[in-house]
Structure 1
Amino acid sequence: MIKTIELFAGVGGFRLGLERSNEFKVVWSNQYEPLTKIQHASDVYKARFPGANHSDIDIAKVIDEDFESIPDHDLLVGGFPCQDYSVARTLKKSSGIQGKKGVLWWSIHAILKNKTNPPKYLMLENVDRLLKSPVSQRGRDFAIMLASLSDLGYVVEWRVINAADYGMPQRRKRVYIMAYKSDSDIGKEIKKLKSPVDWITNKGVMQEAFPMQVNSTPSKPDKYFVIEGDLDEITNNTVDYTSKVRPFDTIGVMIDRKVYTDSAAAEYKGKKKTLGSILEDEKDIPVEFFISKADLDKWAYLKGAKKEERTASSGHVYYYSEGPVTFPDALDRASRTIVTGEGGKGASRFKHVVETPSGRLRRLTPVELERLNMFPDNHTEGATDAKRAFFMGNALVVGVVERLGKSLASRLK
């Protein structure tokens, strides 16, 4: 059994995906939201996993005051908070690893550094913007993470995975990061290879779970570089990480701070789920999810293309423009990415709207949002509809973790 701890656990997406394979056992978890008195996500977690060794205390406080409560483990997983570089924020507001949420990366780092027996393996998830954050120094934050992991003795691989590219019902693009202690069986295997390219294109854990075809010649020299300097020097580096340079591509591996990275495309020929395939029967939909005729014009306006003259607070006049959003959403393909604001009756450009067989338009229900992330039906039951939508907007696609877990477990056998 692979003993696992789950940090920034939300409502348990990592746990669900890993424990479906019966090879993993989550021995400790932590979920804490600093901006609210009631720990809504943690309450859902405890309700769905009764008896779990679960903490709802600030992870930084746990590390400082009760570090021994974190049990030894083989695998550390977490979708560490990404609000500071989320696609839901404008790029210039992205403060990256120095922002309030971004600093929680150092909680992971502290556990790895201070554990007498640190985990041999890591599985992490974040928005793909992490690879080019912050706006003023593209890729600096990811370089700091990679360098700090290398200094702690880990080999790291990553790839940007769009769940829909592999048959899952939602177009949700995220960067997944896996790390292996250099003295672990997998770490030793990687370091023995003649070329790191072999690992990410042929023999690797992530390649087995999510096959990709690298887009260019592996020998191109600009695909290789070394992350130099201590962490403070990387932070202050405005030469290698400029506002225009993007050193980290969609797929990559780092060994002893030596990086190979490239762009890659998904390889998948299996069945694909669609938005239409996960919808509940129209007769089971509560009336409040249907859009009234009086509100249709407002929805159509927000979803439509527009170019409007607007005046800034400074008095400057400018034109605001945006393209149309499909309205209603197409049922014959994977859904658009779920956002945290899916809940509530108010008209929105970003909320999903589907047309029923009778021709009526409606929003998605909490159960349908859960299905798009491949959670069990009613996993978040007990919270308000708005909170349930918020949870799913923050969650990962469970099917991605399930496949990565199976690939890792097969290697460890």
Structure 2
Amino acid sequence: MYKSIDLFAGIGGIRLGFDQAFGDEIRTVFVSEFDEPAQKTYRANYSDPFEIAGDITKIDASDVPDFDIALAGFPCQAFSIAGSKMGFKDDFKGRARGTLFFDTLRICTDRKNKPKVIFCENVKGLPMHDHGRTFKVILGALKEAGYIPWWKILNSKDFGVPQNRERIYIVAFREDIAPTEFTFPEPTGKKVYLRDILEDAPISPKYYLSDTYIETLRKHRERHQSKGNGFGYQIRSLDGTAGAIVCGGMGRERNLIIDHREHSMEPVTHIKGKINEEDIRKMTPREWARLQGFPDSYELPLADTHLYKQLGNSVSVPVIKAIAEKVKEVLDD
């Protein structure tokens, strides 16, 4: 039985991938998540016999039970290409998000029994941040702490979900058990398209855009195109893949679809104008969950605004599972 801890847990996507890979051979003994709405979604899907801890900077390593595997999807916003790329200087509500990686390392190393594995996920731009210096510091810190790190950028669309989402994954093994080589999983070759993850019709009219809003989006894009910019809404082909759903759940207009299946044209929310007759709509939170590889049994208990944010901040579960299977092979050996 391997014991794991789930840091920056979000809604438990990394944990889910490891649970799927390890089956009955893994047990989560500690969870930390700062965001209260995310905690609610997490609790709806995991019935742990302990409370979810909050701010990781206030957690003492001695208060965390012994564990074998640390799962840490430390905040990506500080290093994101789409964000301000502040890195270690990034500040959010008084918390230096860029330095939270070192809290992960503190909890792993300030103890008698250091864990066997530290697993991290972040944006693909991390190795390029600050001309590579940030990533060099992170890898150097892992090595100094007694770990051998491997890393690779993988794309979710190569692992059975229709989302073009590149992320960096770091697997660090404790020196005394580290293999001479660690091989990340290869693409599955399974092709999945947007039409494969659509919810059954009819879709609520609240997801169909108003004609007034679509006209606003078109004018916005025309203004940017006239300046040579690429900003604007985007309609994705049902026979293609979505763009990356982003941290914070923003940019839903970058992943619009045309759904001609039967649906009501009567608005259920207050909108300007009327529901568009081109059948352009946003994807639903459940469809976003499917874009991330969450099973339909995974509960989505909160309002859409929270769910889009949580799913955009989460991970692609099938990618995590594929990596976790490789980690298990090393540990079992």
Question: Could you say which TM-score interval applies, normalised by the shorter chain?
Answer: 0.7 to 0.9
Aligned to 1:297: 215
1:118 aligns with 2:120: no
Asked if the contact 2:233–2:254 (Cα under 8 Å) also holds between the matched residues in 1, the reply is no
Q: Which of the pair is proportionally richer in strand?
A: 1
Identify if the C-alpha distance between structure 1 residues 368 and 123 changes in structure 2 by more than 3 Å, giving closer, same or farther: same
Tell me if the contact between 1:305 and 1:324 (Cα under 8 Å) persists in the aligned partners.
no
Structure 2: segments with no counterpart, 5+ residues: 91-95, 262-277
Equivalent residues in 2 for 1:11-410 (5 A)? 11-21=11-21, 22=23, 23-33=25-35, 39-63=36-60, 67-89=61-83, 93-99=84-90, 100-134=96-130, 138-184=131-177, 187=178, 189-190=179-180, 199=181, 204-206=182-184, 209-210=185-186, 268=187, 270-283=189-202, 285-303=203-221, 306-308=224-226, 320-323=227-230, 327-340=234-247, 342=249, 350-358=253-261, 359-377=278-296, 379=298, 381-410=300-329
Contact 1:46 1:54 (C-alpha < 8 Å) held by counterparts = no
Are the aligned partners of 1:170 and 1:337 in contact in 2 as well (CA < 8 Å)?
yes
The Cα shift of 1:51 comes to 2.8
Q: Cα RMSD (Å) of the superposition?
A: 2.1
Relative distance call for 1:271 and 1:305 in structure 2 (3 A) is farther
Whether the 8 Å CA contact 1:167–1:271 is kept in 2: the answer is: yes
> When the two structures are aligned, how many residues end up with a matched partner?
309
The alpha carbon displacement at 1:48 in A equals 1.2
Structure 1 unaligned segments of length 5 or more: list them: 34-38, 191-198, 211-267, 309-319
Distance 1:307 1:295 in 2: 18
Query: SS where residue 237 of structure 2 aligns?
Result: coil
Given that 2:245 and 2:252 are in contact with CA atoms closer than 8 Å, whether structure 1 keeps it comes out as no
Note if contact 1:341-1:351 (Cα within 8 Å) is conserved in structure 2: no
Q: Deviations over 1:181-240 (max 9, x none)?
A: 1101xx1x31xxxxxxxx3xxxx241xx23xxxxxxxxxxxxxxxxxxxxxxxxxxxxxx
Asked if the contact 1:370/1:378 (under 8 Å) is kept, the reply is no
Change in CA separation of 1:327 and 1:127 when aligned onto 2, cut-off 3 Å: closer
One-letter amino acid of the structure 2 residue matched with residue 357 of structure 1: H
Instruction: Give the number of the structure with larger relative contact order, counting CA–CA contacts within 8 Å between residues 6 or more apart.
Output: 2
Deviates more, 1:357-366 or 1:388-397: 357-366
What is the deviation of 1:379? 3.4
The answer to whether the 8 A contact 1:42-1:56 is kept is no
- What is the rounded CA distance, in whole Å, between the counterparts of 1:40 and 1:269 in structure 2? 34
CA contact (8 A) 1:340 1:389 kept: no
What is the aligned partner in structure 2 of residue 232 from structure 1? none
Secondary structure, counterpart of 1:133 in structure 2:
helix
TM-score of the superposition, structure 1-length normalised? 0.70
Give secondary structure in 2 for the equivalent of 1:369: helix
TM-score (normalizing by structure 2) = 0.86
* Cα distance in 2, alignment partners of residues 69 and 362 from structure 1: 47
Instruction: Assess if the C-alpha contact under 8 Å between 2:68 and 2:115 holds in 1.
Output: yes
**Which of the pair has more CA radius of gyration?**
1
Q: Is the 8 A contact 1:30 1:54 kept in 2?
A: no
Give me the identity figure in percent: 30
